[in-house]
Amino acid sequence: MNNLKIIIIGAGIGGLTAGLALKRAGYTVEIYEKTSEIRPAGAGISIWSNGVKVLNSLGLGDEIAKIGGQMDRMEYRSHTDKLFNQINLNPVTETVGQRPYPVSRTELQSLLLNAFNNNLETVKLNAQFIGVEQNTQGVTAYFANGYQTSADLLIAADGIHSQLRDYVVGHPVKLRYADYVNWNGLIKINPDLGDKNTWVIYVGEGKRASMMPIGNNRFYYFFGCPMARGTIVEPDYRQRELKSIFARWPSPVQSLIENLNPQELNRLEIHDLDPLETIVKGRVALLGDAAHASTPTLGQGGCQAMEDAEILSRFLLTTNLGVEYALKRYESERKERTSTLVLKARKRADMIYGKDPHLTQQWYQQLQQETEQDVTNALSKTILGGPFH
């Protein structure tokens, strides 16, 4: 279909990637974002090769490579510093045809935003979406400041707390607390922390601590620990909290906690979403976390938002049977892939964070027996399930 006007709600990874893909397909795209300044939540993100391939297709390959880390190896260690396994990641790159790029979220967001904002179209900030109406001819979106606009279709890329989700699904949908807290931030690489090209993951006692290389000589670090819902710890006390939770863990973990900047240490309770029965209603489609928020244990949430963007623009572009038809095809193409990954990530989160301590102990054993081939195959399978094989 040609000459469509498309409204996107939300200028996160999903909204911006969709905006770029749809503009590239030749459509008129307007993105509306409620905040006055686009500030990503969280410090880093790993864009696995399936996500990078979507960015490559949008002409952003060189730019993502510039901000990406050199992640050549992956290493699992116990909380007593026993080496569980060490995996060379280059065979994954050779199998799938593209390196993964762990990056700073701020840098990724600016890259996407700059690519979208050109002379003709810019993201409209301070535009809080409040409601939508649709009929067989089109959709109208309403905003808190009284503004309204109409288009052929609307994409809800409004994140994990999506306001449009209930409208699309037709009943209230609750998020599921994954029973653990995540802390994350960025730190300059130094040899006390670990090898600069290795993604290291310490696991033990149903917790984990990890450092992943991103561009410009920094590690994106994250910690996770099971916790009851509702704990709040102010930034000044977070370092102390980590010291106590990870007391006696190996020296790189101690050094990380000692040297991180507590004012830039994010702390959040992790939630996900049961797979939805539908992600499309007429001319409105959910995309990204609005459709399939996941626990971050496979590092695929943002990559899936990018895949959504690619598939949505592909189906709009290659049919002349109408918007509603294209969105239904988008839905049937995306539902199984995203539901499978959300449930896989949930299972992995339960295993990492000791939901059943016996299974977690078994997993620690299994890590020691896994071959490089096992890990390479598992990672490649997930990546090759994306739109660019």
Measured from the Cβ of residue 144, the count of other Cβ atoms closer than 10 Å reads: 12
296 binds ligand FAD (CB under 6 A): yes
246 binds ligand FAD (CB under 6 A): no
14 binds ligand FAD (CB under 6 A): yes
155 binds ligand FAD (CB under 6 A): no
Give the H or E element holding residue 87: strand 83-88
Token pair listed for 163: 């306001």
Position among 8, 15, 155, 252 found at the interface with ligand FAD (CB under 6 A): 15
301 binds ligand FAD (CB under 6 A): yes
Residues 261-290 binding ligand FAD (CB under 6 A) are 288-290
Token pair listed for 124: 């409209």
CA–CA dist 40, 217 (Å, integer): 20
CA–CA dist 220, 188 (Å, integer): 9
Place of tokens 């297709």: 57
Paired strand residues for 281: 284
- Give the pairing of strands 198-204 and 266-272: unpaired
158 binds ligand FAD (CB under 6 A): yes
In sequence order, what are the residues at sequence separation of 6 or more whose Cβ sits closer than 8 angstroms to the Cβ of residue 374?
Answer: none
Give the H or E element holding residue 378: helix 372-384
- Kindly state the smallest distance separating residue 369's Cβ from ligand FAD, in Å: 26
Q: Which is nearer to ligand FAD, 10 or 250 (CB)?
A: 10
Position among 4, 20, 32, 101 found at the interface with ligand FAD (CB under 6 A): 32
CA–CA dist 359, 348 (Å, integer): 11
Stretch near ligand FAD under the rule CB under 6 A, chosen from 27-35, 203-211, 225-233, 348-356: 27-35
Q: Which is nearer to ligand FAD, 1 or 312 (CB)?
A: 312
Nearest to 258 by CA among 268, 246, 270, 269: 246
Stretch near ligand FAD under the rule CB under 6 A, chosen from 21-29, 192-200, 243-251, 295-303: 295-303
Q: Which is nearer to ligand FAD, 158 or 241 (CB)?
A: 158
Token pair listed for 193: 């922390």
379 binds ligand FAD (CB under 6 A): no
Position among 5, 28, 42, 110 found at the interface with ligand FAD (CB under 6 A): 42
22 binds ligand FAD (CB under 6 A): no
In sequence order, what are the residues at sequence separation of 6 or more whose Cβ sits closer than 8 angstroms to the Cβ of residue 212?
Answer: 44, 46, 69, 71, 102, 199, 219, 220, 221, 222
Q: Which is nearer to ligand FAD, 11 or 257 (CB)?
A: 11
Stretch near ligand FAD under the rule CB under 6 A, chosen from 61-69, 152-160, 231-239, 315-323: 152-160
What would the x/- binding string for ligand FAD be over residues 180 to 209, using CB under 6 A?
A: --x-x-------------------------
Residue 288 falls in which region: left (phi positive, over 0), alpha (psi -120 to 50) or beta: left
- Kindly state the smallest distance separating residue 358's Cβ from ligand FAD, in Å: 27
CA–CA dist 81, 203 (Å, integer): 9
* Binding-site ranges for ligand FAD (CB under 6 A): 9-15, 32-35, 42, 45-46, 51, 127-129, 157-160, 163, 182, 184, 288-290, 296, 299-303, 305
